Structure 1
Amino acid sequence: MTSTPLRPTRRGLLTAAAAGTGLIAVPGLADRAVAGAPYVQKPLPSAWFYDYGTNAEMRWESVSPREYLTSPERLFVRDHTATPSIDASTYTLRIFGDALATPRASDQAVSLSYADLRSLPVTRLTTVHECTGNGRSFFASQQGTPAPGTQWKLGAVGAVAWEGVRLATVLERVGLDPRAVSVMATGLDADYVSGGVDYGPVRRPFPVSKALDDALLVWGADGRDLLPDHGFPIRLVLPGWVGIASIKWLGSLEVSATRQTSPWNTIWYRMTGGSYPPDSPPLTVNPVRSALELAWGATLARRQVVGLTGRSWSGAGPIDHVDVSTDGGGTWQRARIRRGGHREAWTQWEFDWRAPSRGDHVVMARATDVAGRQQPLVTPYNENGYFFDAVVRHPVTIV
């Protein structure tokens, strides 16, 4: 997205909340204001995050190679407006549309409470959850073609163990017309306003085929209730797809017999500019990416063997193999897979960098998934900086 409304920094909101309620912000905890007051946003300690005010990026150097999952406290944050306060006891999900077995207008929607949803059969699924703009900063720093928006490095991503109910189960119980084509998911956050234009609530349609395949209505992550920043009480999760498709604070689902559109699949979250044609389709499946578990510009002590670790992932399926270069792409060697991903979850790998010389180096990791998709050396430019999937040139100094 080319612009995002400004709001106070999360650290400022936490400070204000603490001053007004006696709340103490403790890194690693999901904090609430006292006496039934609204949720406050989660802490963003600088050791874990780059804080962009509206958004927050995970620092890869804070990731432990021993941990596979990204805990909710450490997961990146991407909001279009602000995190809303929603009471689970009064929450309802509204389902309507002309492609239900019994067509329903919006004012005749089926309403499901939080308790209704949590009483349904439970599904648990671990997936990689990722912002569409992850890696955007490298369009400028690596390719010399800057794109506006949050200048993510590679930390707008995480592997999350979700808990919820399959959307297919919900639609089966509500009743689905065979003519159904698409589902419009709409969030309960405030309307998005940019450049003086009110685009309404964040919403995005997706095919009913995806709804019946692996879409989830989620209430938990990492064995706990969702944090407010990540969609409490209920969010949609579309495994393997762009993060914007997994609407947070889900308020309604409109099931239609025709193809639906919104600004989030016509104006944004499709490739525009550069060499892309004007009718480029909305973005869906995430590309292949890799990241080193190192600080940007890391300084490492010279040893006979310097161990490198990292992760690779793809929206299309597991990673087949990862190659690493320690000389800026001159030569490549195969990394060892430490833990492979299942379906959309990521793969952990390690590499022994033998007898590195002192000085500055460029380390690169290039993954190939089981569908044969391999990270390129250059990502074609688009004006919103989406899907930077090129091999990242990571600077490292050996001393």
Structure 2
Amino acid sequence: MRTPRSAVSTASVESTYDRRRLRQWLAGEARADGVSRRDMLRLLAAAGAATAVPLALNTPAAAATSPGIVKPLPDDWFTVRGTNAETKFASLAGTGYHTPVDHFFVRNHTSTPVLDAADWTLTVHGDGLTHDRTVEFSLDDLKKLPAVTRTAFVECAGNGRSFFTGQQGQTVTGTAWTLGAIGTARWRGVRLADVLRRAGLGRHAVDVMPRGLDPDYVTADGTDLGRVRRPLPVSKALDDVLLAYEMNGEPLPYDHGHPVRVLVPSWIGISSIKWVGDIEVSAQPLYSPWNTDFYRLFGDSYPEGGSAPLARQTIKSAWELAWDANLDAATEHRLTGRSWSGHGGIVRVDVSTDGGTSWRRARLHDAPQRNGWVRWSVDWRAPAPGVYTLLARATDTTGRTQPDTTVLNTQGYLFDAVVRHPVKAV
């Protein structure tokens, strides 16, 4: 399949930009907000050489509560992982295209702040604005700007991390997600481009860095990294990024960014800063811990200083079935799942019910959508009682297809290999 010219152009621009940013960082030509360069380099080195910690697949869920998460976390919908809550993919069966808010996963670095929308303001500042000025917007100010509604998934960069261990026998660090650190919603808000232009975006601006209003993040060794923040190139900020204040037709819930969050379609979830409180616009490249020691690829297959900061998500598929689900061997079952990609819409899903010996196409129930996923199904009756391995392999509009294995990186990001899903016919 030929890659669309627009996709090639976008990927080329992003790749060139990321390589330039990496060179600027390593050469000391960029500014690391809130953390000294010496501390950043120490953290960067630690991230690249950290002792790997084995992650168990399907770690037993704790009680359905999590420190700092506001909404209920029913056991049949979520697996609690520290300050995070992973959606159990089986619970999405029959829920429709958009993930219900009460099923939507939660990724918190610290805890959910309970903010009053009436008191909230967004401060836009920095030397990338004309006359290096500061401008404030209330929620009412944002709602006076043209509203945009966009369907897009948000997915943690570590989604699928457990399979580095459970499937490839490798050890990585980080939260032991299976495939439920993703959700697709209908977001409504204003274009970040409109807000930046109202604030006086200068021609010399190169980066914008949203910062959240959640509590400061303190590492295990006591280093206070401040509030979660991660820069975006101006080119992306002016493209399709939203400042969202609604989710599936309702005001944003507390756990998902109330009253306003950033939405960066197709990029890793950390880019979509929740509870945004200020945005710095800079005339020079910006860096933070969230694109230097976190959310980059480290390991033997990558440069000594790590890869460029991660941007687009990768391609994945998941069955809407419990792990080791019991299925009646005498019954024909309609098995369902979802596939998605950060690079293009899904155009094909091939499935195997015999561990990869044979493959057939699944039926797609949605048209390929940029920034969205596709639901699919396949009918299957087990030939006999026993243990079976289900596989699903997606292909997107750019020609990307899920590989058999994912190249190891020490922090377990962007796992995109075909997942081997066990079931039992009884």
In structure 2, the partner of 1:222 is 248
Deviation of 1:356 (Å):
3.0
Deviation of 1:117 (Å):
1.0
- Normalising by structure 1, we get a TM-score of 0.88
Higher mean Cα deviation, 303-312 or 315-324?
A: 303-312
1:335 counterpart (353, 362, 365):
362
In structure 1, the partner of 2:98 is 69
In structure 1, the partner of 2:55 is none
SS in 1 for 2:313: coil
In structure 2, the partner of 1:139 is 164
Distance (Å, rounded) in 1 between the aligned partners of 2:194 and 2:79? 38
Point out which structure has higher relative CO (alpha carbons under 8 A, 6+ apart): 2
Decide whether aligned partners of structure 1 residues 13 and 366 sit closer, same or farther in structure 2, where only a CA change above 3 A counts. Answer: closer
Amino acid at match of 1:245: S
CA contact (8 A) 1:65 1:293 kept: no
Deviation of 1:346 (Å):
0.3
CA contact (8 A) 1:9 1:52 kept: no
The answer as to 2:373 corresponding to 1:319 is no
Count of residues paired in the alignment: 366
Distance (Å, rounded) in 1 between the aligned partners of 2:331 and 2:111? 49
Cα offsets for 1:123-148 (capped at 9, x unmatched): 00000110110011111110110212
The answer as to 2:299 corresponding to 1:245 is no
In structure 1, the partner of 2:230 is 204
Instruction: Give the % identical residues.
Output: 52
Distance (Å, rounded) in 2 between the aligned partners of 1:244 and 1:144? 27
Deviation of 1:222 (Å):
0.7
CA contact (8 A) 2:382 2:425 kept: no
SS in 1 for 2:173: coil
| Alignment map for 1:34-45 (pairs within 5 Å) | 41-45=70-74
Distance (Å, rounded) in 2 between the aligned partners of 1:68 and 1:341? 13
Deviation of 1:11 (Å):
2.4
Distance (Å, rounded) in 2 between the aligned partners of 1:291 and 1:258? 40
- Runs of 4+ residues deviating >6 angstroms: none
| Alignment map for 1:156-235 (pairs within 5 Å) | 156-194=181-219, 195-235=221-261
Higher mean Cα deviation, 276-285 or 239-248?
A: 276-285
Distance (Å, rounded) in 1 between the aligned partners of 2:406 and 2:94? 28
> Structure 2: any 5+ residue segments left out of the alignment?
1-46, 53-61
- Normalising by structure 2, we get a TM-score of 0.83
CA contact (8 A) 2:354 2:388 kept: yes
CA contact (8 A) 2:127 2:282 kept: yes
The answer as to 2:301 corresponding to 1:272 is no
Amino acid at match of 1:190: P
Distance (Å, rounded) in 2 between the aligned partners of 1:131 and 1:72? 16
Distance (Å, rounded) in 2 between the aligned partners of 1:12 and 1:388? 25
In structure 2, the partner of 1:290 is 317
Amino acid at match of 1:11: T
CA contact (8 A) 2:104 2:183 kept: yes
In structure 2, the partner of 1:310 is 337
Distance (Å, rounded) in 2 between the aligned partners of 1:374 and 1:97? 41
Distance (Å, rounded) in 2 between the aligned partners of 1:309 and 1:288? 18
Deviation of 1:274 (Å):
3.2
Distance (Å, rounded) in 2 between the aligned partners of 1:55 and 1:274? 29
Deviation of 1:353 (Å):
1.9
In structure 1, the partner of 2:120 is 91
In structure 2, the partner of 1:11 is 65
CA contact (8 A) 1:133 1:386 kept: yes
Amino acid at match of 2:123: R
In structure 1, the partner of 2:56 is none
Q: Which has the higher helix share?
A: 2
Decide whether aligned partners of structure 1 residues 244 and 66 sit closer, same or farther in structure 2, where only a CA change above 3 A counts. Answer: closer
In structure 2, the partner of 1:345 is 372
What RMSD over aligned residues (CA atoms) do the two structures have, in Å? 1.8
In structure 2, the partner of 1:31 is none
Distance (Å, rounded) in 1 between the aligned partners of 2:255 and 2:66? 16
